[in-house]
Amino acid sequence: MTQHFKEQHPELQHIVRELLWVREHNFKCVEAGRRNQLLFFAEGALVLIALERFVRIVVGSEATDSDTLYNLLQRAVSKELLILPWDDQNDGIGKIKAVRNSLLHGNYEQAAKLAGCESVVDFFGSSQFISEIECLFHVVVDLMRQIDISTGKPTGVAPLQVPR
């Protein structure tokens, strides 16, 4: 008996479960007014790990060890395996790449500058960072609904429009 796509990739299920736990924690902290206890770096990192793992699974054997998320997204989009929720797919890939690079490389000064903030503290206080992570979360959810969890094949479901 052949395993379903979902059963073939339990690691992705674990990543998503942890992402949802951290996200739930963050929502509870916001609701309780405990913004100093937010785990947005953890949420951001988990969103990006989930996104890259998912795209790598969808691209399959064509994905190499040296492929970055940028390359994987380009391949998935060009082969019409996934459709990003932006009219311009290359622009969407660039937006994801920018958030990924600033978060995972710790380049918050550049992110602050690009957001028009005077400092890193202003950047994190401006909600720009939080909204970027929120947008990426919705991108991941949207991309995952484009793949059938039984077969691993595209569902043909149109992408949603993600908040900017």
Tell me if residue 64 falls in helix, strand or coil: coil
Residue 136 lies in a domain: yes
Count of domains in the chain? Answer: 1
Residue 88 lies in a domain: yes
Please give the model's pTM, rounded to 2 decimal places: 0.88
Residue 137 lies in a domain: yes
Task: Extract the runs of DSSP E, i.e. beta strands, from the chain.
Answer: none
pLDDT tens for each residue of 43-94? 999 999 999 999 999 999 999 999 999 999 999 999 999 999 999 999 999 9
Residue 120 lies in a domain: yes
Per the CB < 8 A criterion, the answer to whether 137 and 23 are in contact is: yes
Residue 90 lies in a domain: yes
Instruction: For residues 41 and 103, give the distance between their C-alpha atoms in angstroms, rounded to a whole number.
Output: 8
pLDDT tens for each residue of 26-51? 889 888 888 777 788 899 999 999 99
Residue 162 lies in a domain: no
Residue 158 lies in a domain: no
Residue 147 pairs in a beta bridge with 154
pLDDT confidence bin for 163, thresholds 50/70/90: low
Domain containing 135 equals 5-144
How far is Cα of residue 136 from the mean position of the Cα atoms in its chain?
4
